[in-house]
Amino acid sequence: MEVKIGTCGFPVAKSKLYQSVDVIEVQQIFYKFPSRETVKKWRKDAPKNVEFTVKASQLITHLPTSPTYRKAGIEVPESLKDKLGFFRPTREVFEAWERTLEYAALLHAEIIIFQTPASFKPTKENIRNLLTFFEEVSHYGVITGWEPRGNWDDELLLDIFTKIDSVHVVDPFKNEPVYGEIAYFRLHGRGKGYKWDYSEEELNQLAEKLLDDRPNYVLFNNTKMFKNAVEFKELINRRF
């Protein structure tokens, strides 16, 4: 069984993180594009066996009214507010995709993850825009994954993922993936949400959710992400 374990972001010193995990999902690109020199340094300093994945720019997935824009310090001009987010088929959205792809190349990242907020609901317009977007990006030779939030019916998701040939990204304690050439799990915490610290029992339960027929990416996205990633990696090494 192939299992790659890591964190969403850099929760500890990079030198320590690089020696402890298999994969790092870069979050900065979602919020605001860092300098190219910074990203090149991340790749240069990391051991070759450490893989990077990328969380795509929020300009693609989130509306300008999202608090994540404010967190990133992005002020969107009034003229652009109806042209960003929700996979809208606009020049601005596809420019954000091109930049995301460029940064993925700098990191030698082969996987790009799109996360949509719960406000991205299964309306006809949203589904149409999503299908149009993924049809376009399917030509770029990277593995894409989409993590839908909110109420999406599994039957509808299977139909969509089959059409877009993308990976269904899930928190395995909440959902099971309906489609994908890899399994990509993002763990956001449980009872206390982001502040959750996964117990040994829960990490054993997580191990049971891994899939035998494809590579498994397990990315922790909670305050104890580094601790839990190290613990889970030790557990997997013992079990397999």
Q: Total structural domains in the chain?
A: 1
Residue 151 CB partners (closer than 8 Å, separation 6+): 121, 122
The answer to whether residue 192 scores a pLDDT higher than 80 is no
The answer to whether residue 191 scores a pLDDT higher than 90 is no
CATH number at residue 98: 3.20.20.410
For 44-54, the pLDDT digits (tens) are 999 999 999 99
pLDDT the model gives residue 140: 87
Task: Confirm if 76 and 69 have CB atoms less than 8 A apart.
Answer: yes
For 197-209, the pLDDT digits (tens) are 999 999 999 999 9
Full residue range of the structural domain in which residue 173 is found: 3-239
pLDDT the model gives residue 15: 96
pLDDT the model gives residue 142: 95
For 73-107, the pLDDT digits (tens) are 999 999 999 999 999 999 999 999 999 999 999 99
